[in-house]
Structure 1
């Protein structure tokens, strides 16, 4: 495949823009929200739709579920993902009647006089975070809606759109009867937005699928600005906490009992306020920053040269203010230091109008993004010990319970490895410039879990973001720019071409 042939493929991609939009429209319509029990059937539907899409391209594609075989007394009774799995019991053993579906798909080498054994694995997730028009959407979040050059819908940028970009990049080669030089595998899940529930177990269960993976790509994070493509070599980890305070057996009338009892909400808000400094953003829990390494000279140079404007960033995310006043500080705190965010309170009245009630039990939800080199277990211990001490100092008599909902380690790789070099050349061919090399403040559990199963964990896995921070993932009015989307499909074809060129003895 020479440069002339690539241009031929790029023209084909340009001419199929309408078909790509149609595909996006179809997959967006599934309410595949993994957080809510009532949408369990939608997870099955979107996985089955993707299976049919891949099978139409010649993939062998199978839907898999987790096979449980564990003792009843080892099952977590407070599992926050219990809606994703229903267990029935037979004596001391359990077996699953439902769980999050996973899709395993393989496209063998195209017919060629010189088939090779190079395998490319592509990961993505088909579930989304919740969305309702009443949240502030300008249109129905599950109906793809065009506004100028952007298309709006839940999942267009995280992560259904990027998955379809990969599928359509491969389909372009198939439609043009161009031999694909590598074996392609898709591993798609449906519970990433619920902490990739069950992934570690399914990886062990289906470990043969992941043998001899030469290259692995995840397109499930975001470029910092809309001007430049990027490649990502580091992610923060995540620990998600439930902090429960209970003060009574049932809700109380504030007129009858207000001023005479210790209120659970008051204590919860007080403790939450002491976890971090709202002005500086610094976490106030002792020991959190113990393992953070100082910025190196190379990092300072890289951050200084990085094309990143604070005002543009502020406008892109529609923020009213930023915590930091220099580019180096903003990038450093975003990529390589921990952060604490308070997400909500369960059990408190949040409906329209007034309700003069004292909630008897409230649950504060917060998370810590874990930086590289930090020890997750140490952080958990520090958080629990600190909260317990704050609670004991109050002597309220209220009960305290701290539950870890999810935990994922950080991920960091060497951006000088050959996979990054191939991807950089591929992107330069399409965008006319090399991509920025970035870390990301977000968390992708698959990056941590999959690394253990790759042929060369230090060189195999790369993150190629196809979305941008300003696209509004997880927010109202999530959208994707169609012109950038078409360029992303071209860059993925270009990446496959670079792999073929790198293994030139088995060229197309």
Structure 2
């Protein structure tokens, strides 16, 4: 592989926004570019069709008795809106103060190229490396991976031969301290819509007679959190895995303080719930967030209407042991119970995903039946990172 930075820049230039059909060409370009990169370093690539964006399934298989690792990533990115808030064009990568900026730099094109570049160098030095490698690169991660369950069912026998999977969708704080991510939070994504009158109404004529959908929406949303910031949905925290002492000790090694984190985000204060510190809350706690709220007149000036409908986009980030199906049902039931009779509630399912959590060997909560291959992978990562970076990795949930 040529200069990985230049390769990454070219990859970023493809506007691969999976949620918007207007970016279909960018999705195709990113997919084809990733395919070429994999083929250049010796992989056989199969483009697996889906109802939306195809999945890349690439193999370098030698002896079936060799260890087998699957590397996962995705080629789609989040929308770059609002564009006016970007210092530079989001899909034209720019280097400033030693950092590369552009949509997808960190999520997920950068990590993907890091692993490809590392493999390229290793395979150049050791073309007969006794390791089977499979890449799975999807194009729908940013919209909830709707095609992945069917894909895994379709290729279950082939993928089940692997010893473990490496998720190429995480990061480290700097080049001096490497973090191995042991958990990724799960997701419940939904949109609720409240409908009142059949059309917008003049508030001077009809105000006081009908329930304003925006008012009803704000009242419902305001009940979903307690004053301390915790989620006010019955049963939401019932199955949450506790934070273990060894995890808090690992977090103490993380090269960031609460104050540096606050300064980076430029917020006046933090608002963590359930007794967690801000740095703990983003790793160990589940959340309920409002990602977008709308309804009524949004233009300049005033328009004195009672809107016919209002909506809220809501996501929950879940931690280990929380069942997204259960959480989705609990949240929807709570919203239904708190919805006033003067409006009609509808619901759009935006998808769900389970939280992912693995524990390094020799920890108090390491599963007794942890596969030997996974334990070997942890120990190999420990040794390799200590050798190349001069210190052991930190193991943290994300």
**TM-score per shorter chain, which class?**
0.7 to 0.9
- Report the Cα distance in structure 2 between the residues aligned to 1:145 and 1:167, rounded to whole angstroms: 21
- Report the Cα distance in structure 2 between the residues aligned to 1:142 and 1:307, rounded to whole angstroms: 30
C-alpha spacing 1:23/1:373, structure 2 compared with 1 (3 Å) = same
Q: Report the CA distance between 1:28 and its aligned residue.
A: 0.9
1:183 aligns with 2:132: yes
Deviations 1:85-120 (A, max 9, x none): 4xxxxxxxxxxxxx21100111234xxxx9952222
1:126 aligns with 2:72: no
Match among 283, 290, 307 for residue 238 of structure 2: 290
Aligned to 1:274: 223
- Report the Cα distance in structure 2 between the residues aligned to 1:193 and 1:251, rounded to whole angstroms: 34
Q: Report the CA distance between 1:125 and its aligned residue.
A: 0.3
- Report the Cα distance in structure 2 between the residues aligned to 1:261 and 1:29, rounded to whole angstroms: 50
Contact 1:308 1:327 (C-alpha < 8 Å) held by counterparts: no
Aligned to 2:382: 424
Contact 2:325 2:352 (C-alpha < 8 Å) held by counterparts: no
- Which fold has the larger relative contact order, with Cα–Cα distance below 8 Å and residues 6 or more apart in sequence? 1
Within 5 Å, which residues of 2 pair with 1:212-231?
Answer: 212-223=161-172, 228-231=177-180
1:36 aligns with 2:20: yes
Aligned to 1:438: 396
**Greater Cα shift, 49-58 or 329-338:** 329-338
TM-score in terms of structure 1 length: 0.70
Deviations 1:202-235 (A, max 9, x none): 1112334313112321121244677521112122
Report the RMSD for the aligned CA atoms in angstroms: 2.7
Q: Report the CA distance between 1:244 and its aligned residue.
A: 1.3
Contact 2:14 2:26 (C-alpha < 8 Å) held by counterparts: yes
Aligned to 1:245: 194
C-alpha spacing 1:125/1:294, structure 2 compared with 1 (3 Å) = closer
Contact 1:346 1:363 (C-alpha < 8 Å) held by counterparts: yes
Q: Report the CA distance between 1:25 and its aligned residue.
A: 1.8
Q: Report the CA distance between 1:298 and its aligned residue.
A: 4.2
Q: Report the CA distance between 1:384 and its aligned residue.
A: 2.1
Match among 265, 279, 282 for residue 317 of structure 1: 265
Deviations 1:254-298 (A, max 9, x none): 344333321111100111111013x52211122222233554444
- Report the Cα distance in structure 2 between the residues aligned to 1:323 and 1:138, rounded to whole angstroms: 28
Deviations 1:167-215 (A, max 9, x none): 1112223445654331222110001000012110111123343131123
Count of paired positions: 385
Contact 1:133 1:141 (C-alpha < 8 Å) held by counterparts: no
Deviations 1:319-366 (A, max 9, x none): 332124999633443323321111112444444554443321222111
Aligned to 1:387: 335
Query: For structure 1, which runs of at least 5 residues remain unmatched after alignment?
Result: 1-12, 67-84, 86-98, 441-508
Contact 1:306 1:436 (C-alpha < 8 Å) held by counterparts: yes
Aligned to 2:110: 161
Deviations 1:21-61 (A, max 9, x none): 22112111111101112122322221112112222222211
1:106 aligns with 2:64: no
Aligned to 1:407: 352
C-alpha spacing 1:226/1:281, structure 2 compared with 1 (3 Å) = farther
Contact 2:230 2:273 (C-alpha < 8 Å) held by counterparts: no
- Report the Cα distance in structure 1 between the residues aligned to 2:175 and 2:349, rounded to whole angstroms: 35
Contact 2:111 2:170 (C-alpha < 8 Å) held by counterparts: no
Q: Report the CA distance between 1:382 and its aligned residue.
A: 2.3
Contact 2:273 2:281 (C-alpha < 8 Å) held by counterparts: no
Task: Please state whether the residue corresponding to 2:106 is helix, strand or coil.
Answer: coil
- Report the Cα distance in structure 1 between the residues aligned to 2:215 and 2:12, rounded to whole angstroms: 41
